[in-house]
Structure 1
Amino acid sequence: MKEFDYSVNGLRAIAVLMVIAYHFGLPFTSGGFFGVDIFFVISGYVITLSILHKLEANCFSTFGYFKSRFYRIFPALASMTFVTLAVSAYILFPADALRSAKHAMASLGFISNVFYWKEVGYFDVDSDYKPFLHTWSLAVEWQFYILWPLVVYVLHKLKRIAPFIMLLGILAGWGLAMGLSPRINFVFYMMPLRGWEFALGGLIALIPAAHPLRSKLPLLSAILGFATIAANTAFYSENTLYSPLHAALVCLGAFTLIFFNRRFSQTPLKLAPLQYLGTISYSLYLVHWPVYVLYKQYAFRSLGGADILLMGALTLLLSHLSYKWVEQPFRKPSSFFKPLRKYVLLLIVLLCVALSAYVMQTDGKTGRYGEKENVLIDYFQVANEEYHAKYEGAFPQNDEEQWEEGRHKDMPCTYDNYQLKSAEDPKITQCILSNVQAQQTQKHVLIVGDSNGKNVFEAFQSAFPDIGFSMLLHSGCAPATSKGCFPHLEQQLSYIFDNAPINGVILSARFSNQSTDMMEHTASFLGKAHKPFLIVGATPTLLRNPDMVMLNAGKAIEDRQFTLPLNEAYYHADIVPNDAALQKIAQSYQGYFYDKKETLCPEGLCYIKRSDYEKPLFLDSHHLSEDGLEILGNALKKDQAVKSFLSNL
């Protein structure tokens, strides 16, 4: 192996260790997911260099290129998919197993990034129960492979100006990602918004290895490269979603290590452990996430240090086996195996398809439950369908252009899957102003929040029919402008206040596993605007959905009462401290605070079912059922803080 290859291989090891450490929850790795960005830079460099060498030797073959890439990527992916599916079918709860069967097929088709873009984000709570989530990056990489040979061919013809053309493309691609950063899921998952990272690696390949610039300051460049990557890994805000700006810093760190470090022979990247991990880095990446998801589900508790060590050891063992018995035989087959490998691979794919079909045909139950358990599972499925049929709907959706009273009255006005054009965006403001006008009530309250806020919106509508309620909805977002959430919120509220008789504002979100950092800005703004406001506290958010908790506890749907202690064994640990912070913010700006825990978790015991109600209070880990909404609505009518807020409108 050439010296430069050692550096690239060592950098692969650093990238995969960053990702694994982040996923396993190790301290000072909040930006570890940027390891994927480093992989993209490396891929861009390696693939571009390989294509250029073959073009210069006049031996490039499109078929040979795709065949090589296919046998590099697909066999290990297909093998991981089959094993993960088989284990998931009997470890994951039915809803997760069913979803995973669908995701497995998307992964094998290299389109999983599109699936995940349309679902909740990479950083959402539910991500911990998607064993194929990490395959989004392989989909992006394969999509890059399809387009890149033509790009390199054109650049090869341009010769001297090729690096400048590439640099312009990089800047344009990064600028586009920055411009679209409010649509964070789209920017995170879509190949066109990641292409600039591959191109940055490709730029290195376009500049000759003998160029004088590449031998300058090897020690300083290595220090800067490592420092940039380390700083963004260790000190990236845990409350900040993916940022193209920080991704650019990490990618530049990787660029620096590859571009300038060719002759820096003492680089730590040559250390033997890093070389070994770099060699098996692809299998490490494939294996680590299913190990985490399935282990966490099997343990069904918060994971500690011993669990992390065990998961790490299991990941290393399985990755070594995958590299030795899957990657190597398919990439460098023996004379005996070479004519057989396509049939073996076809068999693995057919087994994946058959297993996925079985899981989907059984709705994820896979014949492992008795009648009592199946009744419980079916109840929650039907309850979810009934709830969504009754309450689903918002404006604008599906490219709707015009708010219609008969269709959209009393629905939330949503930022979801919609690119806000300005603070006075006509669709959003039209929705709020039209709702207020159509309600014909003396008092109007605006609710700002996520889907938990929508629960509160529905409870207030039911509890106080004489007051008009409208809502600004952004799923997964606390009611404040932060990365990817509620863009231009304060400016938009100013516009709404100037054009509609809004008497008060309610701020409501999950506030669990969700940042409250920017809430003070919203509260301060409302205080200065002299608008009475009420903050509704955190939702007691289960670590798993209630059907799964009840199954694990051996409970039946007809059991009259089921409670759980509000502790870290069952609930997210940040609920109590977040409520304390929110209450302090409300008091600081003369607002009001309603503690949702007092209703749902009196005296530290949280109701999953209440003896005076027939059905469970929750549909999933944090959304209320119709019975839960009724209980919340009744509690709101009696709460002193709510009464004071409404009387002050």
Structure 2
Amino acid sequence: MHTFGSRRDIDGLRALAVIPVVLFHFGFSTFSGGFVGVDVFFVISGFLITGILFREINAQRFSFVDFWARRARRIIPALSVVLVAALALGWLLLTAKDFSELGRAVRYQALFISNILFMRQDGYFEPASDLKPLLHTWSLAVEEQYYIFFPLLMMLLMRHVRHWRWLLFAMLLVSFGLNIAYLERKPDLVFFSLPTRAWELLCGAMLAVLPASKQAVKPWLYQVAGVVGLVAVLVAVFTFDENTVFPGWAALLPVLGASALIWSGAQGSTWVAQVLGTRALVWIGLLSYSLYLWHWPVYVYANAISIDGIQHWEAAGWMLLALGLAWSSWRFVELPFREKRVLAGRKPVLVGGLLAMFALAVTGAVVRSADGFPQRLTGKALEYAQARDWRAGQMKCMLVTSDKNLDKACLVGANQGEPATQLFWGDSHAAALLPAIENNAARQGRPVWLYSMSACPPILSDEPRQRCKDFNQRTMEQIRRLQIKDVVLASNWSLYVYGREDGDRKVLLNPRDNAAEAEARMAAALKARVAAIRATGAQVWLFKEVPLQRKGTISRLTSLARVGRSAEGLGRPLQEHLARQGFLSALFASMSAADPGVHVIDPTPLMCAGQVCSIEVNGHSLYRDEDHLSDIGSARLSPLFAPVLLGTSDN
């Protein structure tokens, strides 16, 4: 291929890449596959960068210093501004934990390895992603790693390997093969890593080094290729979604589509190239790097100060802000450096870029080591942040997987010299009830046992985790030995039936179960446990789980307080909570109806007012995280346990 000059169609293709990404991230479901814009960017970068290398190595005027100086001039100035802005806004809006995580992300991105950080954390499509202002930099890190290693590879291949193009193509196939081979076993690695994404960049690279054809390509062929390429990219944008297994085979559609668009535009003027070369698309294409950099932090911070998420009419305003910031960044940051009005020499720009990245890496490390500077927070924001910590001793009353024995249990309340005949049993959600238990136990002047183990439901089943099985067996023995009269079972029940809302099914009793099988398994296991407890003569109280809140909404309390906004109305819609609890509610009701010694305790009426299950009440957070109660939230449920601790079952 021989056309490397300025191409308006490639600028337009950049717009075709960035617009769907922005619309997808801002929640426009029509663009459900907008994330493939990143793959289009990879193809463009591979084509343009390899074209530069190919020309300069062929002409024997290639210089690593020149190449990296141009890359630094192109990438680092705007990136540095965005990283500083993200830190400044994070200082203002984020909780200590989230700001600490932001510091770590800044450090990793300053070292050009943020993709490795995000690979180890929640996946790209997870709700937790909305809390990471720099998540989008993973793709920049992939490209930056490519820029570091690929010039050396090209130099070696072109100088020492006769059929180097075939070797380059073989590397493309190997990378694609790794992408397919590891997609199911290590999906995050495949999504975020250079070795499994390199094939997309190499598709563009192969276009750049194709030998010039001896015969002119027939116009109809490149016209058709342009149309097919455009259709392929658009089909991916409009039909892919978060459930698409990606990259995998699916990534071929946008990657080959982008490749076809670049190839067809190089053969001659095509209809599609004329569309991509229109003034509006070219203008957006010129801003595409800055727009990509700015749009995601704008989204994350806008989402942090919203009550019920960003609505479409709000999203339009925030996208305009991102576009304005992108234009300003392009006009006043990118252009002065690219036109060599600032740090004109290659060594000054390289040294300046390295110093900027070093300073940002150090700043990020300081933020991380200072735990996000919790002393930033004052007033209501501080109170919300403090609700994220259990202070009543819940962790002391809960077994975790690192405990070497199963002896941890808590006896709480008054008159602890007397025999305790009430026992609370469950996973960490039982531990979260400690303030409510203590309040009642102290008021009634009696002691109460609390047995809890993280991630272990109090059921009788073929539990795959031996520690859970051992813990539950020991607790059952204690019920018999201590002659317990009332047992309260509390757990995040739906977690073990449906998995996490982000799609994680590893927590199910059997991850291979479908929904119906998981429900049947839970019903049998819970009924077996209740029957075993009832056989000891004790009564059973089934505590239904508290409403689960959406990912990220608890952190939002602090952000709202920092900008002086009320959090009233923030919470899970009641109907969503009732829908998730439908099967469990029916199961509990049937067990209670079948046995007068089985009772149901429902926290929903105290947690949900009107149509919302609120996160906070009267300025106090009810939650520690998205599903565990805070100390105040737990204490608020104290009235629910009065019948248990009054000993009404003694009669």
TM-score (norm 2): 0.70
- In structure 1, distance between residues paired with 2:109 and 2:260: 32
Cα displacement (A) at 1:334: 3.4
2:248 aligns with 244
CA contact (8 A) 2:225 2:260 kept: yes
| CA drift at 1:15 | 0.8
Paired amino acid for 2:625: D
Residue of structure 1 in register with 2:331 after alignment: 324
* Secondary structure in structure 1 of the residue aligned to 2:29: coil
Residue 570 of structure 1 pairs with residue 570 of structure 2? yes
Judge which range, 334-343 or 48-57, deviates more.
Answer: 334-343
Alpha-carbon distance change, 185 to 322 in structure 1, aligned in 2, over 3 angstroms: same
**Corresponding position of 2:515:** 522
How has the CA–CA distance of structure 1 residues 39 and 389 changed in structure 2, closer, same or farther, with 3 Å as cutoff? farther
Q: What is residue 448 of structure 2 aligned with on the other side?
A: none
Matched, 1:270 2:269: no
1:229 to 230, 233, 239: 233
Cα distance in 2, alignment partners of residues 287 and 48 from structure 1 = 27
- Matching of residue 376 in structure 1 with residue 398 in structure 2: no
Paired residues of 2:575 and 2:611 also in contact (CA < 8 A): no
CA contact (8 A) 1:526 1:533 kept: no
User: 196, 200, 206: which one pairs with 1:193?
Assistant: 196
Equivalent residue in structure 2 for 1:432, among 448, 461, 465: 465
1:101 equivalent in structure 2: 103
Q: Name the SS for the 1:489 alignment partner.
A: coil
Structure of greater Rg? 2
Structure 1 residue 28, shift from structure 2 partner: 0.9
**Counterpart check, 1:489 vs 2:492:** no
What amino acid is aligned across from residue 280 of structure 1 in structure 2? L
Write the distance in 2 (CA, Å) between the matches of 1:6 and 1:532: 65
Flag structure 1 segments of 5+ consecutive residues without an equivalent: 396-402, 415-428, 445-460, 494-520, 556-562, 640-649
Match of 1:202, SS state, is helix
Other structure's SS at 1:58 match: coil
Q: How does 1:352-363 map to 2 (within 5 A)?
A: 352=360, 356=364, 363=371
- Offset, 1:168: 3.4
- For 2:299 and 2:105, locate their aligned partners in 1 and report how far apart those are by CA, in whole Å: 17
Q: Distance in 2 between matches of 1:469 and 1:271?
A: 53
Match of 1:294 among 295, 298, 301: 301
Higher-RCO chain (CA-CA 8 Å, sequence separation at least 6): 2
Query: In structure 1, what residue type is equivalent to 2:226?
Result: A
Q: What letter matches 1:296 in structure 2?
A: N
For residues 175 and 394 of structure 1, do their structure 2 counterparts lie closer, same or farther at Cα, with a shift above 3 Å needed?
A: farther
Give the AA of the match of 1:65.
F
Question: How many Å separate the matches in 2 of 1:321 and 1:32?
Answer: 24
After the TM superposition, which of the residue ranges 258-267 and 245-254 deviates more from structure 2? Answer: 258-267
Separation (CA, whole Å) in 2 of partners of 1:581 and 1:470: 10
Instruction: State which drifts further: 272-281 or 290-299.
Output: 290-299
Q: Against the structure 1 CA distance between its residues 75 and 220, is the aligned structure 2 distance closer, same or farther, given a 3 Å change threshold?
A: same
SS of the residue corresponding to residue 217 of structure 1 reads: helix
Shift of 1:228: 1.7
TM-score (norm 1): 0.70
What's the CA shift string for 1:106-138, capped at 9, x where partnerless? 221112112222222222223223222211111
Residues 138-160 of structure 1: CA distance to partner in whole angstroms, max 9, x if unpaired?
11111122221233234435777
Per the alignment, residue 303 of structure 1 pairs with: 310
- Per the alignment, do residues 330 and 478 of structure 1 end up closer, same or farther by CA in structure 2, a change over 3 Å counting? closer
How far off is 1:536 after superposition? 8.1
Q: Secondary structure at the match of 2:31?
A: coil
Distance verdict in 2 for CA 1:198–1:365, change over 3 Å: same
Deviation at 1:438, TM superposition (A): 7.0
1:275 Cα deviation from its structure 2 partner? 1.4
How many angstroms apart in 2 are the aligned matches of 1:529 and 1:617?
Answer: 28
d(CA) in 2 for partners of 1:539, 1:61: 61
Please report how far the alpha carbon of residue 91 of structure 1 lies from its aligned counterpart in structure 2 after TM superposition. Answer: 3.4
CA contact (8 A) 1:3 1:262 kept: no
User: Given the alignment of the two structures, is residue 151 of structure 1 paired with residue 150 of structure 2, yes or no?
Assistant: no
2:74 is the counterpart of 1:57: no
Mark the CA change 1:469 to 1:439 in structure 2 (over 3 Å): closer, same or farther.
farther
Tell me by how many angstroms 1:32 deviates: 0.8
What residue in structure 2 maps to residue 457 of structure 1? none
1:412–1:471 Cα contact (<8 Å) kept: no
The separation in 1 between residues aligned to 2:388 and 2:576, in whole angstroms, is 33
Does 2:83 correspond to 1:81? yes
More displaced 10-residue stretch of structure 1: 304-313 or 238-247? 238-247
Give distance in 2, aligned partners of 1:592 and 1:206: 71
Match in the other structure for 1:15? 17
The amino acid of 1:571's aligned partner reads: G
* Kept after mapping to 2: 8 A contact 1:564/1:607: no
Residues 423-444 of structure 1 show CA distances to partners (whole Å, capped at 9, x for unaligned) of xxxxxx9953675467548999
Cα RMSD after superposing both structures: 5.0
CA shift at 1:388, angstroms?
6.6
2:557 to 549, 552, 564: 549
Matched with 1:619 is: 624
How far residue 323 of structure 1 moved from its aligned partner, in angstroms, is 1.7
Match of 1:426 in 2: none
State the Cα distance separating 1:285 from its structure 2 match. Answer: 0.9
Task: Provide the C-alpha distance between the structure 2 equivalents of 1:263 and 1:362, rounded to a whole number of angstroms.
Answer: 56
Counterpart-to-counterpart distance in 1, 2:306 and 2:348: 39
Give the superposition deviation at 1:20.
0.9
Contact 1:541 1:571 in 2 (8 A): yes
Residue 210, structure 1, aligned to residue 213, structure 2:
yes
1:540 CA displacement: 3.6
- Among all aligned residue pairs of Structure 1 and Structure 2, give the percentage whose two residues are the same amino acid: 25
- Partner SS for 2:613: strand
Q: How many residues align?
A: 555
Instruction: Describe the shift of the 1:437–1:88 C-alpha distance in structure 2 as closer, same or farther (beyond 3 A).
Output: closer
Q: What is the CA–CA distance in structure 2 between the aligned matches of 1:294 and 1:470, rounded to whole Å?
A: 29
Q: In structure 2, what residue type is equivalent to 1:275?
A: V
Deviation at 1:33, TM superposition (A): 1.2
**Which shows bigger deviation, 140-149 or 123-132?**
123-132
CA distance in 2, matches of 1:637, 1:243: 54
CA contact (8 A) 2:381 2:561 kept: no
Q: 1:480·1:486 contact (CA, 8 Å) conserved in 2? A: yes
**AA at the equivalent of 1:619:** R
